[in-house]
Structure 1
Amino acid sequence: MKTIDPRHYDVIVAPVVTEKATIASEHNKVVFKVASKATKPQIKEAVEKLFDVKVKSVNTLVRKGKTKVFRGQFGSQSDVKRAIVTLEEGHRIDVTTGL
């Protein structure tokens, strides 16, 4: 049985399931919410080890948190870092199934 470093679970927080992410999956791309301190090499290693696939490239973005009003009180949403992972040809990840 393969050994997985527990730190990989700290890098990948959750898959992103949106309309845009679904369209990207048709082009062999998967979108994940990742830890804010995670680097591209860490994300690549975590995806390759956890899902047993070959990663071609990793692009990251940080969505800045918005200011919202809830019941007259001002609050702010947290910043969210996302990773768009492009997989090699022939590799797929089905995010609807668990690990």
Structure 2
Amino acid sequence: MISDYKLFDVLYTPHISEKSTLVLKKNNTIILKVAVKSNKNDIKQAVKKIFSVEIERVNTVLIKGKVKKRGKYNIRRNHWKKAYVQLKPGQNLDFINNVI
């Protein structure tokens, strides 16, 4: 069980892209950037408490950081995790009005 003061440590931002808007319209699924060490249960509880919505399932993907060339050095971007949160039918998520 995740404590209330760590809810905002799990969720970072919504991931906005062309694919995420298509998935939202088709499957009622939102895509969020989350903490790398968080698990599916933590993500589900955080979204449920913060936005007061019912969740059907949560899928997570760990995105490896890309290696980029910066002058003569190769640098690696940070790894990050995204979560596909599918809401139950009839549920809607409004980011602007639901934030505490």
Name the counterpart of 2:40: 40
1:5 partnered with 2:4:
yes
2: CA distance between counterparts of 1:86 and 1:14? 16
The DSSP-based 3-state class of the residue aligned with 1:6 is helix
Q: Could you tell me how far 1:92 is from its partner in structure 2?
A: 1.0
- Structure with higher helix content: 2
Name the counterpart of 1:22: 21
Name the counterpart of 1:65: 65
Letter in 1 for 2:15: V
2: CA distance between counterparts of 1:59 and 1:80? 14
Segments of 5+ residues of structure 2 without an aligned counterpart are none
Q: Could you tell me how far 1:73 is from its partner in structure 2?
A: 2.5
What per-residue deviation string (whole Å, max 9, x for no partner) do you get for residues 43-85 of structure 1?
0000000001000000000011110012332111111100000
Name the TM-score, length of structure 1 as normaliser: 0.89
Over 6 Å off, 4+ runs: none
Segments of 5+ residues of structure 1 without an aligned counterpart are none
The CA RMSD measured in Å over matched residues stands at 1.4
